Amino acid sequence: MKFLRQKILEQRKSLPIAAVEKRLVEEVRNNHTLIIVGETGSGKTTQLPQYLFKAGFCRDVKLVGVTQPRRVAAVTVAKRVAEESGVQLGQRVGYSVRFDDMTCGSTRIKYMTDGLLLREALLDPRLSRYSVIVVDEAHERTVHTDVLLGLLKNVQKARSQSANELAGRANSNNDTNLEKDNGVQMASPPKQGQVAKLPPLRLIIMSASLDARIFSEYFGGAKAVHVQGRQFPVDVFYTLHAETDYVEAAMVTIFQIHLEEAPGDILVFLTGQEEIESVEGLVRDKLPQLPEGNRNMVTVPIYASLPSEQQMKAFMPAPDGFRKVILATNIAETSVTIPGIKYVVDPGVVKARNYNPRTGIESLNIIPTSKAQALQRSGRAGREGPGKCFRLYTEREFEKLADSTVPEIKRCNLSNVILQLKALGIDDIIGFDFMEKPSRMAIVKSLEELFLLGALTEEYKLSDPIGNQMAKLPLDPIYSKALILSSQFNCLEEMLIAVSMLSVESIFFTPREKQEEARTAVKRFSSPEGDHITLINVYRSCDEFLESGNANSSKEKTFKNMKKWCKENFVNGRSLRHARDVHSQIRDHVKQMGLRIASCGEDMLLFRRCLAASFFLNAALKQPDGTYRALASSQMVQIHPTSVLFRAKPDCIIFNELVRTNQNYIRDVTRIDPMWLTELAPHFYARQD
């Protein structure tokens, strides 16, 4: 048997990118901005940072930072690269994502989300710790990637100016030193009292889409290099008729492949945790009905909010003789490459944000993928040999798909990024050099929203202290506002729990075959006032249960107990654990900010008033027909069937989010008194009726 390290070394050498290592390093030396385009799986994300480290780009205690649009990618890739480099994760190779930092002083290759690097810029505007920033998966064009590119352009300018000044003064250029260097360098700390000399910031933009032109143009004609990939033929199959239920269709297809096709793992694209868990359940229930010899199939989920220790499971080979079915969100489209896939099942849909600047409402919609996405997805079946892709829609539907996805910046609420830009001292948002400008209306609407939340002054400057505090919290502005206000309403304890629970997907777990039981279980927690308090009840009940057990019990024991408790109560254990993580992190944040953490005890009226004071932009009034009118947008909406207020239908409510499926559904709803709106948000409601 080969040693693992040697096997890994051979794998690394066989990647398409390995053949061009030297050339790539040369190009990075010679170009301050470089665009690297290469097919998914060619080795860009895992290999390039290691090449740069080896070539000495981390000398002088500098880091190579690699940004990813998704936290799962940052985490799993960092783990892989640590393994490949033979180092412990969190040492030389680490990652940092919201609520989870695995880096230390000796970290040199740092994977992180693009959103996190934006936040780092708040503390260190010239990103002085980095010699190279790699913006990975740029083709995804998330709103954070787009804003980050604009910001990096500024940082690059600032840093080359400072480098030139220094070069003029000292007649020596840091950068030339770097170029002469070819070996692995020991990091040496800067001497005390020395002016911080900053080498120019090198920027590498990596993309899986073949069209490098827009990036090149944006960076003044930056050079682009292509890395040849390796792709085996993939047979694509369509359905003859449109499917009405793609979850059901996906399940049927999984079993068809399992029973009729040669060995090989299956990758299924679904839209989110809820769907993934529902398919997991369906497959689990159906497997025992197969003939004995055919039950050799296992499912593994992978999605953004999956706890990181579980994410790695998707990469592990299935037990001998078993077929692995990976149930993934579009994270598996280009961000992570899982070995062994031979079949792809593609329902052709994706969950995407959509923003209507006229109404100011952002919603999550399930929409058709673009052609480019469909091609990326099918390509995943042909990485290691010929494969098959089953598109769960007709060929005519494929022809009708848009060529590529609209960049997120054109279809999302901009409040979050505008707040960040303001905090970075960039006041002229409309004049900011965006790669693709969001509409003026969207910018104005978001500015207005931030003003209404108190984050901006009438001159649209960051307000103090509210705006500053809000910018510091790694949360959506409205959640940050709720936390800040709740310390005045004496219910920060409660709001911390509510915000943590709202930050994760589906706390309740409703198996299809046990719907009645699940409903009864939920009743134990449900509050007549609404979903927010219900969520708090769940969180606290679990806490009480854990505390009532042995306080000294081991971590494993606690974990086991919690799992059992969740199962009995139809609570999603994964989500609840995630929420508890988020809770402890935000708690640290608000403590550091000096907010007063207090509880309102039994007096939930205070908590609801605080919700009204913060979520007043998401208030809705009942109409005679039992539907609701959202007050800020005049949109007609309905309470989602999973809400505890679905039947009660109170007159006036606030909601957390709008989800559009076949209806406009509002989720996470709490009853409020309409008079509170004029009392607590007079700047918005006094001028209206």
Q: Burial level of 404, CB count in 10 A (0-12/13-18/19+)?
A: middle
Question: What part of residues 71-130 is at the interface with ligand ADP (CB under 6 A)?
Answer: 76, 80
Residue 339 in the binding site for ligand ADP (CB under 6 A): yes
Which listed range, 19-27, 34-42, 610-618, 648-656, lies at the site for ligand ADP (CB under 6 A)?
Answer: 34-42
Cβ distance to ligand ADP smaller for residue 336 or 484? 336
| Helices 573-592, 531-548: crossing angle, 10 deg rounding | 100
Cβ distance to Mg ion smaller for residue 144 or 577? 144
Within 31-189, where are the H helices?
A: 44-54, 71-85, 114-123, 143-170, 174-180
CB neighbours of 537 closer than 8 A, spacing ≥ 6? 525, 526, 527
Taking a C-beta distance cutoff of 8 angstroms, is the pair 37, 226 a contact?
Answer: yes
Tokens of 133: 């920033």
Of Mg ion, ligand ADP, none, which one sits near residue 545, judging by CB under 5 to 8 A according to partner kind? none
Of ligand ADP, Mg ion, none, which one sits near residue 503, judging by CB under 5 to 8 A according to partner kind? none
Of ligand ADP, Mg ion, none, which one sits near residue 38, judging by CB under 5 to 8 A according to partner kind? ligand ADP
Of Mg ion, ligand ADP, none, which one sits near residue 80, judging by CB under 5 to 8 A according to partner kind? ligand ADP
Taking a C-beta distance cutoff of 8 angstroms, is the pair 116, 98 a contact?
Answer: yes
- The CB-of-44 to Mg ion minimum distance in angstroms stands at 5
Cβ distance to ligand ADP smaller for residue 227 or 492? 227
What are 352's strand-pairing partners? 365
Cβ distance to ligand ADP smaller for residue 102 or 669? 102
Residue 311 in the binding site for ligand ADP (CB under 6 A): no
- The CB-of-304 to Mg ion minimum distance in angstroms stands at 16
Cβ distance to ligand ADP smaller for residue 385 or 465? 385
Q: Rounded to whole angstroms, what are the CA distances from 653 to 489, 493, 572, 639?
A: 19, 22, 26, 10
Residue 50 in the binding site for Mg ion (CB under 5 A): no
Interface residue with ligand ADP among 33, 45, 253, 618 (CB under 6 A) is 45
Per-residue binding string, ligand ADP, 195-234, x by CB under 6 A, is ----------------------------------------
- The CB-of-232 to ligand ADP minimum distance in angstroms stands at 13
Cβ distance to Mg ion smaller for residue 138 or 279? 138
Q: In what order do the strands lie in the sheet with 130-135?
A: 100-102, 93-97, 109-113, 63-68, 130-135, 202-207, 33-38, 223-227
Residue 45 in the binding site for Mg ion (CB under 5 A): yes
Residue 317 in the binding site for ligand ADP (CB under 6 A): no
Number of residues located near ligand ADP, criterion CB under 6 A: 15
Of Mg ion, ligand ADP, none, which one sits near residue 76, judging by CB under 5 to 8 A according to partner kind? ligand ADP
Cβ distance to ligand ADP smaller for residue 40 or 469? 40
Which listed range, 36-44, 413-421, 483-491, 643-651, lies at the site for ligand ADP (CB under 6 A)?
Answer: 36-44
Residue 670 in the binding site for ligand ADP (CB under 6 A): no
Residue 33 in the binding site for Mg ion (CB under 5 A): no
What are 101's strand-pairing partners? 96
What torsion do the CA atoms of 657, 411, 303, 614 make, to the nearest 10 degrees? -30
Residue 15 in the binding site for ligand ADP (CB under 6 A): yes
Among 469, 467, 535, smallest CA distance to 499 is for 535
Interface residue with ligand ADP among 28, 33, 37, 44 (CB under 6 A) is 44
Residue 46 in the binding site for ligand ADP (CB under 6 A): yes
The number of CA neighbours under 13 Å toward the Cβ of 592 is 9
In this structure, the strands spanning 223-227 and 33-38 are: parallel
Interface residue with ligand ADP among 35, 43, 498, 677 (CB under 6 A) is 43
Residue with the two structure tokens 């004029």:
678
Position 124, amino acid: D
Cβ distance to Mg ion smaller for residue 278 or 376? 376
Taking a C-beta distance cutoff of 8 angstroms, is the pair 63, 124 a contact?
Answer: no
Tokens of 141: 């064009």
Of Mg ion, ligand ADP, none, which one sits near residue 330, judging by CB under 5 to 8 A according to partner kind? none
- The CB-of-257 to ligand ADP minimum distance in angstroms stands at 21
Tokens of 246: 């793609």
Cβ distance to Mg ion smaller for residue 38 or 357? 38
What are 222's strand-pairing partners? none
- The CB-of-275 to Mg ion minimum distance in angstroms stands at 24
Q: In what order do the strands lie in the sheet with 265-269?
A: 234-237, 387-391, 341-346, 265-269, 323-328, 297-302
- The CB-of-335 to ligand ADP minimum distance in angstroms stands at 8
In this structure, the strands spanning 63-68 and 628-630 are: unpaired
- The CB-of-137 to Mg ion minimum distance in angstroms stands at 6
- The CB-of-168 to Mg ion minimum distance in angstroms stands at 39
Interface residue with ligand ADP among 99, 238, 315, 684 (CB under 6 A) is 315
Of Mg ion, ligand ADP, none, which one sits near residue 46, judging by CB under 5 to 8 A according to partner kind? ligand ADP
Render 46-88 in DSSP notation, one character per residue.
HHHHHHHHHTTTTTTT-EEEEEESSHHHHHHHHHHHHHHHT--
Peptide bond into 319 cis (omega under 30): no
Tokens of 529: 């006032």
Cβ distance to Mg ion smaller for residue 44 or 583? 44
Residue 403, number of CB atoms within 10 A of its CB:
7
Q: Which residues bind Mg ion (CB under 5 A)?
A: 44-45
Q: Which residues bind ligand ADP (CB under 6 A)?
A: 15, 38, 40-47, 76, 80, 315, 337, 339
